Structure 1
Amino acid sequence: MAENQSPRVLSVQSHVVSGYVGNKSATFPLQLLGFEVDAINSVQFCNHTGYKAVTGQVLTEKDLDDLAKGLEENGLDFYSHLLTGYIGAESFLQRVCSLVKHLKTVNPKLTYVCDPVMGDNGKMYVPKELLPVYKNSVLPLADIITPNQFEVELLTDIKINSVDDAWKAIDVLHSKGCPIVVLSSTELGTEQSLLAIASKKVGSNSEKVTIKIPKLPASFTGTGDLFAALLLAWMHKTNSQLKVSLERTVSSLQAVLKRTLEDSKGERTSKAMELKLIQSKSDIESPKIVVSAESVF
């Protein structure tokens, strides 16, 4: 692939037949924003785990190896970006680390965006063996990382009770080799809003930004996957302008969630609360900025 062609993303995360999480949540928005998307599904389930029944298959590290080798043999392994989300096994995550290293030899300019999906609200939903792999192997390889508050606490061993704690934890992640850290959501806001906190540290240059995310009276699934995909896209399209990228990411996300809430007509079942991505096409392509980020000096 020539470097002047459309940006190409390899996205390694979960897949559902019905609904919008993982690759189903990330692919369409990335395509709308001009990216070729190649998807590897770490799991393939009938639907997300919020439903009463979940059936399907789990990809093994050997399966991943087979796919990666085929892409390499056919010269299809030049990517501008790698995006990883939910991965459920330590051995699979170790193989992803090998894949990152290989893809960065093919394209040294490759940007690796990692959403270290491990848990939320104080509870891990992946095996604890994945944590040291994220800490020791993934962080030094990642260019952008998008954990939630609980995941940052796991990665840094710092309990976040204040914004100052969050900045300290972010500095720890920078020290481990990741130049751009975005806490996609924290409980450090108000009763009306969550707070996202972002930091970019490249050489002696640094940029710090916060943004308030209005809370909506419902819980959604797939929002973290959508957030990471949108952030990847806008960081590329704005030449890594953190403030602008965050505003566009959060504004698109708000539009999708509001539409999902409106269309559910008060019903709170998993099916009714599936993200309304297709209906939000214009909000993804041209987000109307509804929240402004603040630079921190």
Structure 2
Amino acid sequence: MPEREIHRAVVTGGAGFVGSHLCDRLRDTGVRVVCVDNFLTGSVDNVAHLADDPGFELLERDVTEPFDVAGPVDVVFHLASPASPHDYARHPLATLKAGAHGTLHGLELAGRKDARFLLASTSEVYGDPLEHPQVESYWGNVNPIGPRSQYDEAKRFAEALTATHRAHLGFDTTIVRLFNTYGPRMRPLDGRAVPTFVSQALAGRPITVAGDGQQTRSLCYVDDTVAGIMAAARAGHPGPINIGNPAELTILELAGRVRELCGSTAPTVFVPRPGDDPDLRRPDITLAGSALGWAPVVDLDKGLTATIDWFAATHGR
């Protein structure tokens, strides 16, 4: 399939953490953007700097209800969903509906506009993986009724819905699986490791590490994640495609790096580990390299420093 030109795009969840950075990148490349968000977990502050941009439009809509956008659209980016453990624990039904109804309504919009549809899925579809690193052909090890199931299964269903529209209705779709994105605009209390550790270290509070801290993560700076999403939107590959940084580290190592970069002497405190918390997480990004020509370029210290500087400026020490 030829590379698609993008002149105008819809970004559901566009006022969220990743969505707002995607809106920025699209505008930087001259793409007109319609940002759709109901602000359940997103914030108008994340896109306030675009308010006077004539190429940016903000629509307050709940995508779990049918919605429409006037005018032509080339790509629908579906990012709308609570994405942090705290958020989908507080909003379990909204999370499930975003994966089911939200995905369907995004697909229907793409169909009406003859647009490409990009689903932002997640590494959580692999669950607590029995294969390492995780390659796209791995089906995963997911508890369908566990404490994380509302998010994991919502994304797995969203993938099935997207793939079915492609296979049986001829829709132009692609799926990207995002791995542990971090960076500026994360919320201090969203429950993920990076904002939690940074907020604690800057405030001089003890750094809380779940379990023994030997579980691993592979952190991808938001600029790299957005570059991967953009590459997938323009390419013809249907996915799923892993978008993440294969540099793996333990949570305990991450806490140590954040402490050092913040200049903190706060102690580490070990707290109970959440249920179904994955032991291992590392993407195989071979497909992203061959199909998209994409690979992450921001190393951990550079990304963490940018994130820490933003937290310090925005939320203070």
* TM-score (norm: length of structure 2): 0.41
Which of the two has greater strand per residue?
1
* TM-score (norm: length of structure 1): 0.43
